[in-house]
Structure 1
Amino acid sequence: MRTARFAPALLLPLALLLTACGGSSSADSRSGGSSGVTLNVGDQKGGSEAILAAAGELDGLTYKIKWSTFTSGPPLLEAVNAKAVDIGGVGNTPPVFAAGAGSKIAVVGATHGSSYGEALVVPKGSSLTKAADLKGKTIAVAQGSSAHFQLVASLQQAGLTLSDVKVSYLQPADALAAFSSGKVDAWAIWDPFTSQVLLNGTGRILTTGQGLVNGLAFQVAAPSALADKAKSAAIGDYLKRLARAQNWVYKHPEAWAKVWAKATGLPYDVALASVRRSNGTRVPVAVDDAAIASEQKIADTFEQLKLIPKHVDFAEVVDKRFNGDLPPSTTAARTYPKAG
């Protein structure tokens, strides 16, 4: 099973996720480069580059950044494994699938935010009122995504398993079509899809991932880049800038929504709703034992479901060297839900 076919829970606009998964190199290299180092960064539209630019954190670089744009996390992590990308941001599930496939990756940074945007939605006129009502129903979900784990966790909380429902593994484009035409009874999605469904009036939330899934997202680096002293220093600086920029987003949701809407093509009302519900709630956090334990639960769950080919010890793909570089306000220990 190739994880490159899975869509992660990254905050992408509908138009982008209607395209096939893949990566394209950006010719843009930001100012800087006095150190002679070029950091190859994997990104998605409206992702790290947009956040850094909006917060003014691309000024004063001593190294160059070459951006490569991907439509999802799994192909980005394939590029990290191939050493084509030095570092990139993904959701909480793609690293599990990459590790299960034997990819050479290192989780070096994290953010944590609300999971209200992780939702099971049903058509507006649906008779379903709670997760237990899903028994025997057909649910669309992107396989290997954080929405996939949120679906499993929501079913577990309701006393159900995947065998109690009919799972239709669809990428967002096909899932949207199936949901709109009534071919599925529910859809497991993430923001901004959640906000789009709510604001266009086609659906409503049945249940969310809040309290069930960990709300984590990660920066993942190539071990070869970390072994290079100059590139490792650049990665450390990049993570500091990203942490400051993420804190800027947290404090300026309306300003960020305007930037994000322009960068992605999302309508401003959808962008703002998504920012308030989930995208703008993220703060940088340490990749600590609590985060690792929560991710291990995801890995164990997908192993039990036979969706990854081997056991994953998530701690083995974590590099904690940059944890101490976080802003003081974000270093407090956190607890994360471990469903099941």
Structure 2
Amino acid sequence: MITRRLFAALAVTAAALVTAACGSGGDNNQGVNADGSIDLSKVTLHIGDQKGQALQALLEVSGQDAGLPYKLEWSQFTAGPPILEATNAGSVDLGGVGDAPPVFAAAAKSRIKIVAAYDSGYAGNAILVPPNSDIKDPKDLRGKKIAVAQGSSAHYHLLSVLNKNGLTFSDIQPQYLQPADALAALSTGRVDAWAVWDPYVAQAQKAGDKVLVDGTGYIKPDSFFVAGTKALDNKASSAAIRDLLLRIQRAQSWVKDHQEQWAKQSSDITGVPYDVTLLAVQRATYAHHPLDDATITAEQQVADAFSDAKLIPGKVNIKDFIDTRYNDRFNS
């Protein structure tokens, strides 16, 4: 159970992880001329990136970073929750996250909006166990120490697996660890299982760990792009975000058709080995779709599950944290 006081303390801790020191333009009129026209050359978007998405590398390798009419500044994060804490603080304008981070941010009344969605695939989400583990079925997780990043997409995947197998969080010993620490804990036997996402799933598989269960039947595998309300309220930065979302969409489509090229070139940029990157991209979906009623309903179910499990304080109305202005990308 997470109390309101602990929830607030965790938010402060997440803020301390923020690597971006500078804000995303204190001027609400950045890039907006006196006559109301916009000048994208005066806009700088601050983007939160993480290893699981590698947005900076994705734009570079696909060539979608060519001819940008605005500037991009990048900050790297360990997972989605600290990206959204930085977004709320104003040091990040846009970031890519899984399904759970927006719920935790919404519960903390953060100044964020979900602005885009894509299906990232089921197999890249998994609960892993060591090769000689006696855990053969999700029901065997009872009483076990399970590593998971709090507030991450893996957190919801784990919660869903437990719920659908007659277990609750009180039936396990959750170990809230970031991926690097969780990998070390699994490899040294300090935890019995690890809930995580790609490319960490692929990395663990290459090291010999086994997938107990993936996301199939447990989650709607949507990932989201989340923007700060301050950036969205600015006419110029909002236009830049629209352009960037289109570039990301084209870049991810390119990656699906050039998997080996992506794996080779991105490994030099991200440091993730070629074989790990290739395995991860081979099962990724990258199917962009509108923020439609079905998507919003599914995300509300994520919020309700965390609320019912008392893992967030109170209820969250996810519609209050949705901005559909970019849905018109799919009308043409």
Pick the TM interval, shorter chain: 0.7 to 0.9
Letter in 1 for 2:242: G
1:318 aligns with: 322
1:333 aligns with: none
1:263 aligns with: 269
Q: 2:301 aligns with which of 297, 302, 322?
A: 297
TM-score normalised by L of structure 1: 0.83
1:334 aligns with: none
Task: Report the aligned-residue RMSD.
Answer: 2.2
Match status 1:36 vs 2:50:
no
1:109 aligns with: 116
What is the rounded CA distance, in whole Å, between the counterparts of 1:88 and 1:134 in structure 2? 33
Q: 1:51 aligns with which of 46, 52, 58?
A: 58
Shift of 1:294: 0.9
- Determine if contact 2:40/2:236 at 8 Å carries over to the other structure: no
The share of aligned pairs that are identical, in percent, is 48
Shift of 1:156: 2.0
Instruction: Give unpaired runs (5+ residues) of structure 2.
Output: 1-6, 23-38
Match status 1:307 vs 2:314:
no
- Determine if contact 1:122/1:204 at 8 Å carries over to the other structure: yes
SS state at 2:241 partner: helix
- Determine if contact 1:284/1:326 at 8 Å carries over to the other structure: no
Q: 1:288 aligns with which of 292, 295, 298?
A: 292
- Determine if contact 2:80/2:152 at 8 Å carries over to the other structure: no
2:169 aligns with: 162
What is the rounded CA distance, in whole Å, between the counterparts of 1:162 and 1:256 in structure 2? 38
Match status 1:185 vs 2:179:
no
What is the rounded CA distance, in whole Å, between the counterparts of 2:73 and 2:314 in structure 1? 34
- Give per-residue Cα distances to partners, 1:43-91, cap 9 Å, x unaligned: 2356222111222111222222222333332222122212222222122
Match status 1:273 vs 2:279:
yes
1:233 aligns with: 239
Letter in 2 for 1:295: E
SS state at 2:129 partner: strand
Q: How does 1:240-255 map to 2 (within 5 A)?
A: 240-255=246-261
2:86 aligns with: 79
Instruction: After superposing the two structures, state which structure 1 stretch, 116-125 or 95-104, moved more.
Output: 116-125
What is the rounded CA distance, in whole Å, between the counterparts of 1:34 and 1:322 in structure 2? 18
Q: 2:219 aligns with which of 197, 200, 213?
A: 213
- Determine if contact 1:120/1:189 at 8 Å carries over to the other structure: yes
Match status 1:23 vs 2:29:
no
Residue 261 and residue 300 in structure 1: after superposition, are their counterparts in 2 closer, same or farther (change >3 A)?
A: same
Instruction: Give unpaired runs (5+ residues) of structure 1.
Output: 7-19, 27-32, 329-340
Shift of 1:35: 3.7
TM-score normalised by L of structure 2: 0.85
Residue 69 and residue 326 in structure 1: after superposition, are their counterparts in 2 closer, same or farther (change >3 A)?
A: farther
- Determine if contact 2:47/2:74 at 8 Å carries over to the other structure: yes
What is the rounded CA distance, in whole Å, between the counterparts of 2:148 and 2:162 in structure 1? 13
Q: 1:120 aligns with which of 122, 127, 135?
A: 127
- Give per-residue Cα distances to partners, 1:219-268, cap 9 Å, x unaligned: 11111221211121111111111111111112221121123212211111
Letter in 2 for 1:231: S
